């Protein structure tokens, strides 16, 4: 396997680094990047794929941090969500999903379950904490925002 070939997938097995520590398993995937992106990372020398992976993880963390800080200052419930709760009989999870303009299939895919399983959870007014946390994460919300009860 040629480490300089950007189209070559990385092994799915743990990789032994020179420092002796093990990385987590990687997923083999074919992606396409602009030539200048690949050239810039390759120019950094051996280990450029790991640095690219680290850069992507940093970007993900920055997005999560931005979303969390935005939630800290705006943990308010939009009037559209409240209207759905008061007037349509929606559960809080369903009201938020509709407000965010997501389908059940999209949310289910984010959680890693079937659409039918998600639909059952969405209808359940007595949802467990773990399931609620999973759904909140998939919706990009604080779990507290799914605990609204107007009954």
Cβ-count burial 121-135 (b if 16+ within 10 Å, e if not): bbeeeebeeebbebb
Give the pLDDT confidence of 46-78 residue by residue, as tens digits. 999 889 888 888 878 876 655 554 444 346 888
**Could you tell me the pTM of the whole model?**
0.51
Domain annotation for the chain: domains and CATH numbers: 1-74 (no CATH), 77-146 (1.10.260.40)
Rounded average pLDDT over 109-121: 94
């Amino acid at each position: 396997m040629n480490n300089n070939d950007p189209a070559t997938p990385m092994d799915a097995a743990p990789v032994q680094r020179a420092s002796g520590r093990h990385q987590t398993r990687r997923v083999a995937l074919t992606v396409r990047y602009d030539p200048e992106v690949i050239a810039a990372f390759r120019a950094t020398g051996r280990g450029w794929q790991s640095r690219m992976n680290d850069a992507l993880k940093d970007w993900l963390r920055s997005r999560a941090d931005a979303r969390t800080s935005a939630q800290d200052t705006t943990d308010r419930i939009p009037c559209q969500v409240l209207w759905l709760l008061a007037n349509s009989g929606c559960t809080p999870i369903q009201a938020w999903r509709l407000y965010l303009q997501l389908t059940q299939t999209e949310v289910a895919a984010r959680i890693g379950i079937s659409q039918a399983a998600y639909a059952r959870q969405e209808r359940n007014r007595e949802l467990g904490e773990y399931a609620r946390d999973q759904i909140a994460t998939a919706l990009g919300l604080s779990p507290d925002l799914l605990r609204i009860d107007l009954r």
